[in-house]
Amino acid sequence: MSLTESSALRDAPPSWIEERRRAAFAAFDGAAMPSETEEVWRYVDLGFDVSDYQLAEGGAEALPADAVLGNEIGHAAGTATVIDGATTDVRSDAPDGVVFESVAKAVVSHETMLQEVYGKGIPVDLDKLAAAHHAFSTDGVVLYVPPATAVTQPFVIDVQATRPGAVSFPHVTVVVEESSQASVVVNNRSADGTGALVVPQIELYVRDNARLDMSVVQNWDYSSTALAHGRAVVGRDATLRLAEAGLGGELSRFHLMVDLVGRGAHAEILGAYFGEQEQTLDYRYFMNHAAPNTTSEMFLKGAVEDEALSVFTGMIRIEEEAQRTNAHQTNRNLILSDGARAQSVPNLEILANDVRCGHGSTVGPLEDEQRYYLMSRGIDRPRADRLQVRGFFEEAIGRFPHPGLAGPLREWINAKYVNAQEEGRV
């Protein structure tokens, strides 16, 4: 099915969604694809037009269960499976009042609540891909946690792409109301050779004195492209901890915008990524401090080998009224092959005069001094380098909100590097 206005309205949505989709389709139809001449797309040439893709349609079979990840996470408060943009299975053991269900059902069963938040996070006119998502996304997952409710076990959302050459638009909306707590794991994956295009959106609303811990595992196959947008709004004395592990995808991009809008709001954004072959892993993170006494930290570590490229552009903006802000960003990169590249561009925009703010960025190879130290103690060079890579990532992985993910992440990263060693690529 082509990306037309009729396909945007294919599921006979409620009138308010139909109105939004018509407006989004007009924006999509009139927009050009993003170009690397734009600062926010610098270093990355898409080389395709989303309009050339066909919509992924229903009826696909789910991928085999991700047993490793499931076992490490343990018992979940709820699970959902999203296949090619359509939610096929939702189960919940959450307390009364918690809503965890598909977008398609929630727009009917919880219409009033959803109207206030659904699709409000990412501006339609941000770029053609954002407009496409607003026009063609019909399903996904909604999590709503009512006031004064703590759900300590995670909600696990398994997002899959299975249709070769098709595009899907999965959507996740999370609302954690005042004085509540929630935990979410999103697992993005596809089978080898799928060659899909995935354009997800994640929108997070963390109300006053609330807490949200979220981990995103990006494990698309090496022939698929994922271009994601995320938005978080964090209220007074609220806390957001969000981590992303970037492992797969021919091209994987995460454009994340965080707004700290209440006094005392805190956000911690973590990342660990490893690119190989001809992968491109692209992170554009924007932190906006719009209230006083807010704090934030971005902390990402990555490695690239073969001909891979990583891009990190970080921006901390401190509004004039955001006095007594404390904000920092750090991005460290390892270059493991001569042909690999890492672009790291931290930025600060400070309009207040009573702040503590800083950034750090490094790009370089493994350290000879550490290698020689390990080898002097009887460790051979390949193992010494593996230990150095593992130690490099540990500072990031060890801070992920869900400790159960640490084991699988270590194994996946180690496997990438060991395979490259054994094949003589590093």
Query: What's the confidence (pLDDT) of residue 10?
Result: 78
Q: Give 232-301 as a DSSP string.
A: EEE-TT-EEEEEEEE---SEEEEEEEEEE-STT-EEEEEEEEEE-TT-EEEEEEEEEE-STT-EEEEEEE
**Is residue 137 in some structural domain?**
yes
**Is residue 22 in some structural domain?**
yes
Is 371's pLDDT higher than 80?
yes
Contact 319, 292 (CB under 8 A): no
**Is residue 308 in some structural domain?**
no
Per-residue pLDDT band for 6 (boundaries 50, 70, 90) equals confident
- Number of domains the chain is built from: 1
Q: What percent of the chain has pLDDT over 70?
A: 98
Per the prediction, the chain carries an average pLDDT of 95
**Is residue 146 in some structural domain?**
yes
pLDDT (mean) for 240-248: 98
Q: What percent of the chain has pLDDT over 90?
A: 92
Residue type present at position 56: A
Is 58's pLDDT higher than 70?
no
**Is residue 252 in some structural domain?**
yes
Q: Which strands make up the sheet holding 266-275, listed edge to edge? A: 86-92, 78-83, 155-161, 181-190, 211-219, 239-246, 266-275, 295-304, 325-335, 355-364
Residue type present at position 249: G
Question: pLDDT tens-digit profile of 129-145?
Answer: 999 999 999 999 999 99
Contact 380, 386 (CB under 8 A): no
Is 224's pLDDT higher than 90?
yes
Question: pLDDT tens-digit profile of 204-214?
Answer: 999 999 999 99
The residue with tokens 């997800």 is 200
Contact 360, 331 (CB under 8 A): yes
Is 12's pLDDT higher than 80?
no
pLDDT (mean) for 210-228: 98
Query: What's the confidence (pLDDT) of residue 296?
Result: 99
The residue with tokens 């770029």 is 127
**Is residue 14 in some structural domain?**
yes
Query: What's the confidence (pLDDT) of residue 237?
Result: 99
pTM here is 0.96
pLDDT (mean) for 265-280: 99
Give the contacts of 251 (CB within 8 A, at least 6 positions apart). Answer: 44, 46, 225, 226, 227, 279, 280, 282
Q: What's the rounded Cα separation, in Å, for the pair 292 and 305?
A: 42
Instruction: Give residue 217's domain range.
Output: 5-262
Query: What's the confidence (pLDDT) of residue 61?
Result: 86
Cα separation of the two ends of the chain: 43
**Is residue 257 in some structural domain?**
yes
Question: pLDDT tens-digit profile of 287-325?
Answer: 999 999 999 999 999 999 999 999 999 999 999 999 999
Q: What's the rounded Cα separation, in Å, for the pair 378 and 358?
A: 40
Is 57's pLDDT higher than 80?
no
Residues 334-358 as b or e (16 or more Cβ within 10 Å = b): bbbbeebbbbbbbebebebeebebe
Is 163's pLDDT higher than 90?
yes
Query: What's the confidence (pLDDT) of residue 59?
Result: 66
Contact 291, 326 (CB under 8 A): no
Per-residue pLDDT band for 400 (boundaries 50, 70, 90) equals very high
Look up residue 56 and give its two tokens: 């992924």
The residue with tokens 């947008």 is 229
Query: What's the confidence (pLDDT) of residue 68?
Result: 58
Neighbouring CB atoms inside 10 A of 49's CB total 11
**Is residue 58 in some structural domain?**
yes
Residue 8, φ and ψ in degrees, nearest 5: -65, -25
pLDDT (mean) for 390-411: 96
Is 72's pLDDT higher than 90?
no
Contact 55, 7 (CB under 8 A): yes
Q: What's the rounded Cα separation, in Å, for the pair 192 and 91?
A: 28
Which helix H or strand E contains 91, and what residues bound it? strand 86-92
pLDDT (mean) for 335-347: 98
pLDDT (mean) for 358-365: 97
pLDDT (mean) for 341-355: 97
Is 14's pLDDT higher than 90?
no
Beta-strand relationship, 171-176 and 295-304: unpaired
Query: What's the confidence (pLDDT) of residue 74?
Result: 80
Q: What's the rounded Cα separation, in Å, for the pair 27 and 132?
A: 8
Look up residue 25 and give its two tokens: 């389709």
Contact 180, 150 (CB under 8 A): yes
